[in-house]
C-alpha cells in the first residue's frame, strides 16, 4: 500500500518537474516552440540565442538522469543554438543525456532515437590553425547536420559536423560519425565504418506489419 502511494507521489513529482521545465522555457526562451506531449524527465540545460530558430516537435521525451533511463546517463540533455542558428527536432523523438550544439543548423526528423550520452555537434568549436586558435574562435569549421527519420543512434556516439544520416540507419554504440551515411545501413566504430545493410530488417518489419494488419 505504502509502495503504491509512493509510486503515485513519484509520478506526480515527475509531472510537476516536466511542467516546471515547460514554464522555464516559455519564460526564458519565448521564441522556442515546444510541441504537444513533450516530457522532460529531469531538467535540461538550454542556451538558445534570441535570433536562433528552435522547434521541438510533439511527443518528444528528454531523459536527463540514470533513474529515467538505466542505460546510464552521465549528464542532463543540453541544447545549444547560437546566433542565427536553426535547431529543429522532429516529432516522436527520444533522447537521453544528449548534447546538441547548433551553431549553424541541426535538423532531426521524426521517430529518431538518440541513445544515452550521444553528442551532435555541427562545429569543431575551435579553429584548426593553432595561431588563430590562441586568440579567437573565428574561422571555426561548421557544417549542417541532418538526421533522417527513424535513425537509431547508439549510446555515446558522436555525430560530427556536416553529416547526414539516412532514414532508418543505425549507428553503433560509441561510434564517431564523420561522413554522411545512406539509408538502411548499420555503421559503427571510430571513424564509423559500414557493418552491414539493415535493409533486411526492414523487409522483416514490413512483413510483420502486413501480417498484423491482416489480423493473423
Ligand X SMILES: CC(C)(COP(=O)(O)OP(=O)(O)OC[C@H]1O[C@@H](n2cnc3c(N)ncnc32)[C@H](O)[C@@H]1OP(=O)(O)O)[C@@H](O)C(=O)NCCC(=O)NCCS
Min separation Cβ 42 and ligand X, Å: 15
Residue 155 Cα distances to 95, 117, 176, 206, angstroms: 10, 6, 11, 26
Select 100 or 155, whichever has its Cβ closest to ligand X: 155
Strand, helix or coil at 19? helix
Cα separation, 16 vs 121, whole angstroms: 31
Select 86 or 178, whichever has its Cβ closest to ligand X: 178
Grid cell of 187 as nine digits: 555503421
| Contacts with 114 (C-beta within 8 Å, 6 or more apart), sequence order | 93, 94, 95, 96, 98, 108, 120, 147, 153
Q: Residue 143: CA atoms inside 13 Å, Cβ hemisphere, count?
A: 10
Cα separation, 162 vs 197, whole angstroms: 22
Check 31, 49, 126, 204 and give the catalytic one.
126
Select 42 or 172, whichever has its Cβ closest to ligand X: 172
Min separation Cβ 93 and ligand X, Å: 13
Cα separation, 142 vs 128, whole angstroms: 12
Cα separation, 107 vs 146, whole angstroms: 5
Select 81 or 99, whichever has its Cβ closest to ligand X: 99
Alpha helix segments (H runs only) across the chain? 2-28, 130-135, 199-213
Min separation Cβ 172 and ligand X, Å: 3
> What residues make contact with ligand X under the rule CB under 6 A?
71, 96, 115-116, 154-155, 170, 172-175, 186, 188-189, 195
Min separation Cβ 74 and ligand X, Å: 12
Select 82 or 115, whichever has its Cβ closest to ligand X: 115
Min separation Cβ 139 and ligand X, Å: 33
For this structure, is 4 an active site residue?
A: no
Catalytic residue set: 126
Amino acid at each position: 500500500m505504502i509502495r503504491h502511494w509512493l509510486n503515485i507521489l513519484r509520478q506526480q513529482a515527475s509531472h510537476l518537474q516536466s511542467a516546471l521545465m515547460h514554464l522555464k522555457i516559455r519564460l526564458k526562451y519565448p521564441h522556442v516552440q515546444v510541441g504537444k506531449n513533450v516530457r522532460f524527465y529531469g531538467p535540461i540545460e538550454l542556451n538558445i540565442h534570441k535570433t536562433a530558430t528552435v522547434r521541438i516537435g510533439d511527443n518528444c521525451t528528454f531523459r536527463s538522469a540514470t533513474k529515467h533511463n538505466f542505460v546510464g546517463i552521465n549528464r542532463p540533455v543540453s541544447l545549444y543554438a547560437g546566433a542565427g542558428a536553426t535547431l529543429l527536432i522532429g516529432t516522436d523523438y527520444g533522447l537521453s543525456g544528449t548534447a546538441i550544439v547548433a551553431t549553424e543548423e541541426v535538423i532531426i526528423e521524426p521517430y529518431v532515437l538518440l541513445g544515452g550520452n550521444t553528442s551532435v555537434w555541427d562545429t569543431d568549436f575551435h579553429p584548426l590553425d593553432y595561431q588563430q586558435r590562441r586568440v579567437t574562435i573565428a574561422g571555426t569549421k561548421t557544417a549542417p547536420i541532418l538526421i533522417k527519420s527513424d535513425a537509431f543512434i547508439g549510446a555515446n556516439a558522436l555525430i560530427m559536423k556536416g553529416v547526414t544520416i539516412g532514414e532508418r540507419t543505425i549507428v553503433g554504440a560509441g561510434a564517431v560519425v564523420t561522413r554522411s551515411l545512406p539509408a538502411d545501413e548499420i555503421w559503427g566504430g571510430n571513424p564509423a565504418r559500414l557493418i552491414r545493410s539493415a535493409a533486411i530488417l526492414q523487409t522483416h518489419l514490413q512483413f510483420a506489419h502486413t501480417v498484423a494488419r491482416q489480423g493473423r
